[in-house]
Amino acid sequence: MNEQLHLKNIRNVLTRLEETILFALIERAQFHRNEIIYKPGAIGGAIGNDSLMGYLLHETENSTPGCDDTPA
């Protein structure tokens, strides 16, 4: 049987994924009180007419490798 399919390895991967998801949610949750980050053009300058939240989400998605590129 393939080593990657052993229950211990699957458990470890799922634990890491859970921690990653929780950390990302905590990071995003900090912005719920900052209304200015949701207003397009409120920050101005280097990010153009986009909102800070839109810019951060766009850049995060661009810098995160796709599922197909992730080693198993």
Tens digits of per-residue pLDDT, 11-51? 999 999 999 999 888 888 876 677 777 788 887 777 778 88
Q: Which two tokens stand for residue 21?
A: 């998801």
Q: Which pLDDT does position 67 carry in this prediction? A: 46
Residue predicted with more confidence, 44 or 58: 58
